[in-house]
Amino acid sequence: MNDLLKNTLLRAVHAGADVLKHFFEGTFEVHSKDTLNNLVTEVDKKAEDAIIDVIKSEFPEHFILSEEVGELSTTSNYKWIIDPIDGTVNFAHGIPICCVSIGLERDGEMQMGVVFNPFMNELFFAERGKGAFLNNRKLTVSKNNQIESACLVTGFPYRWVDVGTDPIAVFERFIRLGLPVRRLGSAAIDLCWVAAGRFDGFWEYNLNPWDIAAGYLIIEEAGGRISNFSGDKYSVYDKQTLATNGHIHEQMLEVIKNQA
């Protein structure tokens, strides 16, 4: 069963990525969602359809949660959590920092996750208890244990009213420490790059399950730590995300909570 699930997951992510590659830097329709710059393109929907078609061809009874179609609810204990394009704004502007992200949950626990950026040919994959990989190379988070020398990445929400805390104030506290903080525009890639040791830590407010489902498992399987801003056990349905190499996790929590 696990082999079939993994094979279906990889076929699905490649099906979605083929759609992205076909339309990249081409002409397609772009619309706004709830705010002007929260974009959706016709490519999101086409990629989503391609992904779901692959999954449903093997597992028609499985639950689907996807960014554009919403919930295709069933009583199955398997749930596929899909982001057909994570980094849609980047994609719409021809910036190749975007990806397809798919997580597979069973009985409420993430079992497999894949994030594929076809423009950099980087496929991140993790299976619970079996490690995390980039193009078949085993991943390990960075060993840095001092926040003073950390390289961080973050993102900002489109709807500030929903956040409850001022993300700019937190961002300012980190940069006042003299830290390099990047913003790539794709939470899924941010998480994977922490898992790969490129970044030491990532934080963001107001993410959705499809943004982080796959990256969550990839972080953990690479030896990192992920929590909410209270340091509690993480759920992909949380609205606060802190992911680190584990060594600087508590130090980042102190800065976020303004206790440093």
Instruction: List the structure tokens of 59.
Output: 């597992």
Q: Tell me: do 8 and 93 sit in the same domain.
A: yes
Q: What's the CATH number where 108 sits?
A: 3.30.540.10
Do residues 129 and 200 both lie within one domain? no
**pLDDT number for residue 37:** 47
Residue 225 · residue 201 · CB < 8 Å = no
Q: What pLDDT score does 9 carry?
A: 98
Say how far apart CA 113 and CA 212 lie, in whole Å.
10
Domain boundary, last residue among 97, 119, 138: 138
Note the pLDDT of residue 70. 82
- CATH value at residue 224: 3.40.190.80
pTM reported for the whole predicted model: 0.93
**Nearest to 55, CA basis, from 6, 114, 126, 22:** 6
Q: Are 202 and 244 in contact (CB under 8 A)?
A: yes
Chosen domain end from 120, 138, 156: 138
Number of folded domains in the chain? 2
Structural domain that includes position 189:
147-256
Please indicate, yes or no, whether residues 157 and 76 belong to a single structural domain of this protein. Answer: no
Closest CA to 96 of 122, 125, 117: 117
Among 239, 171, 255, 254, smallest CA distance to 205 is for 239
User: Tokens for 186?
Assistant: 């794709």
How far apart CA 47 and CA 25 sit, in angstroms, is: 15
Residues 46 and 152 in one domain: no
10-residue mean pLDDT series, the chain (260 residues): 93 97 82 60 91 97 91 90 95 95 96 98 98 97 97 86 73 96 97 98 94 97 96 91 98 89
Alpha-carbon distance of 211 to 157, in angstroms, equals 12
